[in-house]
Amino acid sequence: EQTATETAQALARERAAAVSTHEDLDKARLERDAARALLVGVARLKEALDKQREATVSLGRDLAAARADNDRLRAERRSAQIERPLKPRSGRAAAATGRVKAVSQKTARSKVRNPSRITQVRSLTLPYSLRPRRATLE
């Protein structure tokens, strides 16, 4: 009888150990599945990060190219404003370059007061740091 009770107790301990081991195995499987799901998520995030990096690099290149184009166009515009092409002279004006024309003083004075030739105002774009702080009277 004593061996039967000892055997029954040993069997009960083994069953409890088996149940505990089975529970531990189930927990380990759940953790493994969760780790796999996290690994898949991490891989997707890594791919998305790589795509974002590529897009950022591409946008950076595009921005640098656009800035270079803007700088080139600004330089062309400045040079076009500064170096206006001279108008070709008319046939009479080209032929009369060798002769000195007599002009009365009265005509000369009126031309000084009312110049017929319109002077063009050139404007420079100041950098932001050099722009006036207050509005100017114009």
Per-residue pLDDT, 97: 56
> What pTM does this model have?
0.41
Per-residue pLDDT, 134: 75
Per-residue pLDDT, 4: 92
How far out from the chain centre does Cα 79 lie? Answer: 27
Per-residue pLDDT, 77: 87
Q: In a structure prediction context, what are the per-residue pLDDT tens digits for the chain, which is 138 residues long?
A: 889 999 999 999 999 999 999 999 999 999 999 999 999 999 999 999 999 999 999 999 999 999 999 999 998 888 877 655 556 656 555 555 555 555 555 555 555 555 555 556 667 777 777 777 777 665
Query: Whole-angstrom Cα distance, residue 123 to residue 137?
Result: 16
- CB-based contact 105:65 (threshold 8 Å): no
Per-residue pLDDT, 9: 94
